[in-house]
């Protein structure tokens, strides 16, 4: 299958700082990428849809000013958690859609964020 690389895999930061997570599609062009959040022993919750060259679409209840998403190229989307708070600690996973493969979604390995 197609490969999506997510970095960093783990990050620890202090409250009030900002953290950027990168999501890259390595062998396909992803005009659309999706960002999910997963709490311990819970399922994946969609946070936002990222479209290359345009503003992201956020799900209800997700603060767009806190979770900044940028999709500047066909292979890179970034999620920046601003003014991080301990309640932002979670597992964040991105996915890219390969339209050449029947719209199948491929997921990154996820980023574990811990805010102290």
Closer residue to other proteins (CB): 50 or 75? 50
Binding to other proteins by CB under 8 A, coded x per residue (else -) over 67-96, reads: ------------------------x-x-x-
- Residue 49 touching other proteins (CB under 8 A): yes
Q: Based on CB atoms, which residue is closest to other proteins, 14 or 41?
A: 41
DSSP codes joined into one string, 73-98: ETTEEEEEE-S--GGG-EEEEEEEEE
**Phi, psi (deg, nearest 5) at residue 11:** -150, 135
- Of 27, 22, 35, nearest in space to 1 by CA: 27
Q: Give me the residues that bind other proteins (CB under 8 A), please.
A: 1, 6, 32, 34, 36, 42-46, 49, 91, 93, 95, 97, 99, 102-110, 112
């Amino acid at each position: 299958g197609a490969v999506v690389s997510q970095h960093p895999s783990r990050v620890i930061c202090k409250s009030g700082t900002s953290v950027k997570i990168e999501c890259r599609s390595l062998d396909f062009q992803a005009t659309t990428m999706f960002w999910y959040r997963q709490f311990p022993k819970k399922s994946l919750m969609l946070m936002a849809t990222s479209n290359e060259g345009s503003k992201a679409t956020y799900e209800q209840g997700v603060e767009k000013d806190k979770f900044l998403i940028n999709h500047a190229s066909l292979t890179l989307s970034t999620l920046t958690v601003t003014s991080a708070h301990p309640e932002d600690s979670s597992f964040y996973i991105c996915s890219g859609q390969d339209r050449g493969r029947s719209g199948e979604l491929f997921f990154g390995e996820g980023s574990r964020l811990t805010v102290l």
